[in-house]
Amino acid sequence: MPDARTAFTDAYARLSEVLPGLGVTELTAADEVPDGEGWVTAASLAAGGAELAAFLAWDEAKVLRDYGQRARPDVIASFGLHRYAWPACLLITVPWFLHRRVPRHPAAHVAYDRTAAGLPLGRMAVRATSFACLPDDPAAGLPGARVVADEEELRAEVRAAVAEHLEPVLAGFGPRMRRRGRALWGMATDEVVEGLWYVAHLLDEQERARHELELLLPGATKPYVGDAAFRELKGPDGTPLHTRDRASCCMFYTLRPEDTCATCPRTCDADRVGKLLAAAG
């Protein structure tokens, strides 16, 4: 499956450069979306059948191997969704953040392989059907381009593109997670924000990412839940420390109650400060 140069090739190359644990392969119109031999299509995950069960068996084995205990089935499903949705959202948000181009990636056009050697985050294969861009973008004349008027319309395209991809996937995972509606979209909100925020840190553009994400998710942008939820804490010497309040819980506390993340709703601000300082050190 050779890469085909598209309006997103540079963005995905930059993503792989700063995040080498994740691979992205662009498919041409003639390429089949890979399936089998480690690959699973987003459409098969959305179907919620045997392919999803096999996908989650990998998470169950990993939890047992890493923590020496079994997790509840709904916790396993939550872990599995996170491991898929985090990189899947980057396929849309990174081209937007870097080049103001928003690809449409329906679930039928995306596959994921998390077993690839040397790629701890896995690899994704994707075929864009169309994309939105601004009027002054040199890519505006390319096949599949759809020009929008301004930045706010482009942000609406980001929200729509992520929702188009994730909605069927959430429907597949939801019953196994014992979550529905608002709880699922809260998790989707967190994947959008935290994925791009993390990559922006690697790009040394965290400040711009916070601003962009606050505009992208200002609140009341259904089906997403809440806003980007960034806020600032102070270290012991007054140093500003940036955090956010997750809209959902990743359920890791069910395995290690004492080891929650710095954005967990269960983590108080004093503990957040300690975790943020430890991470920075």
DSSP 145: E
Residue 2 confidence class, pLDDT cut points 50, 70, 90: very low
CB of 91 within 8 A of CB of 63? no
Q: In angstroms, rounded to a whole number, what is the distance separating the alpha carbons of residues 256 and 251?
A: 9
* Helix axis angle, 206-216 to 181-202, nearest 10°: 150
- List pLDDT tens digits, range 16-46: 999 999 999 999 988 999 998 899 999 999 9
Q: Which residues are bridge partners to 133 per DSSP?
A: 101, 147
Each residue's pLDDT tens digit, 161-173: 999 999 999 999 9
Region of residue 226 (phi > 0: left; psi between -120 and 50: alpha; otherwise: beta): left
pLDDT at 281: 64
Task: Calculate what percentage of the chain has a pLDDT beyond 90.
Answer: 77
Q: Choose among 76, 71, 83, 77: nearest CA to 114.
A: 83
Are the beta carbons of 237 and 220 closer than 8 angstroms?
no
What is the model's pTM? 0.94
Q: What is the pLDDT of residues 118-169, one digit of tens each?
A: 999 999 999 988 999 999 999 999 999 999 999 999 999 999 999 999 999 9
Cα(60)–Cα(205) distance, integer angstroms = 35
Q: Is the pLDDT of residue 3 over 70?
A: no
Q: Is the pLDDT reported for residue 274 higher than 90?
A: no
Could you tell me whether strands 122-126 and 230-234 are parallel, antiparallel, or unpaired per DSSP bridges? unpaired
pLDDT greater at residue 131 or residue 115: 131
Look at the block and give the residue holding tokens 């609406």. Answer: 156
What per-residue confidence (pLDDT) applies to 267? 83
Burial-class residue 90 by CB neighbours within 10 Å (0-12, 13-18, 19+). buried
